[in-house]
Structure 1
Amino acid sequence: MSFLGTSLDDIREFPDDIKQDTGYQLHLVQNGQMPSDFKYMPTIGSGVVEIRLKDENGIYRVIYTAKFQDTVYVLHAFTKKTQKTSQADIELAKARLKLAQQKENHS
């Protein structure tokens, strides 16, 4: 598991119940399973998945890719403010996906 950019710090800012659920969902992914509630994100890249989490206070998203052989890359984590994922969040995840690809190409 590799957290790119501020993704781990962003998850740490989530409410405790959402942090715990995020950990469980990422554990599933590490073990070759799919998260409980997810959506593929082809606008970001092939093999990119968004974990969807919510509680009474808000909606949270964790974007990752597990398409590389040995590593799950967490690209971005954020609190969702509107129904649609913002272009800034999409662009940030795209940039971090490129970083993950570069890391894989140099390992």
Structure 2
Amino acid sequence: MTRKLVMGEKPLFWIGSSLKDITRFPSEVQRSVGFALSAAQYGGKHPSAKPWKGEGPGILEIIKDHDGDTYGALCTVRFANAVYALHAFQKKSPHGIATRKSTLLWSKSVSSWRRWITRRDMAKRIPEQVIRSSGNVFADMGLPDAAELDTKARLGAALKLIVKRKRLTQAEIATALSINQPKVSALLNYKLEGFSVERLMHFLVALGQDVEIVVKAKPTSRSARIAVNAA
């Protein structure tokens, strides 16, 4: 079941075999890619996401090194109404930089996918080769701690929004949250792996926000879930 989007969040669509391919990645890589895709949904850019060569800033390549191999995913953020995960791949080489021939062949079709997406209203017609995310990219990947990871992503997005509203400098953020500059940078760049949900909530309180936890019976139409709604 697709959860309701929050303010400033774009829906995510999986193109072709991108989701199936990502589920074959090691769980650590899946988590990193998930945070990068979540950042893109909220209009941010994870440090592991770089503009893809030849396509400009509208298509990002997310790269994660793990156990001697390099894993990657491509997504496009150039459309106002959605983020599209285009492709996922593994670069197997001693130096982690040699792209597989199949990836190079696939890259030629990116422009055709872009034209296809531009022509169609995805909200009205979703063909078989396009899967709409459930709203939790980590759950899409089948990660066992998906609810916690999605909560981190949403709390991180709320922190970024509040900091922007208050127009705080990194030094002011560090003072308010009692953390050092590298951790401030990690927060602002959606590198949330090193922060617990509890700590992120305490950061919000330190920035003058109320954090309310409401426990209620779930509707019979869906499974129980954890949700974060930033006012």
2:35 is the counterpart of 1:35? no
- Structure having the larger proportion of residues in strand: 1
Name the SS of the counterpart of 1:89 in structure 2: helix
4+ long deviations beyond 4 Å: none
Map of 2:117 onto structure 1: 103
Partner of 1:64: 75
Deviations 1:61-90 (A, max 9, x none): 011111011111111101111313345313
The AA in structure 2 aligned to 1:35 is H
Deviations 1:28-73 (A, max 9, x none): 1111111222322133x34211011122252100111110111111
Distance in 2 between residues matched to 1:14 and 1:49, nearest whole Å: 19
- Higher Cα Rg, which structure: 2
Residue equivalent to 2:35? 24
| Cα offsets for 1:1-52 (capped at 9, x unmatched) | 1111100000000011111111111101111111222322133x34211011
1:64 alignment partner AA: C
**C-alpha contact (below 8 Å) 2:50/2:62 kept by paired residues:** yes
CA RMSD in angstroms, aligned pairs only:
1.8
Secondary structure of the residue aligned to 1:24 is helix
Q: Which has the higher contact order (CA 8 A, sep 6+)?
A: 1
Correspondence 1:13 to 2:49: no
> Structure 2: which 5+ runs fail to align?
1-11, 122-231
Normalised to the residue count of structure 2, the TM-score between the two structures is: 0.42
- Unaligned residue ranges in structure 1 (runs of 5+): none
Q: TM (normalized to structure 1)?
A: 0.84
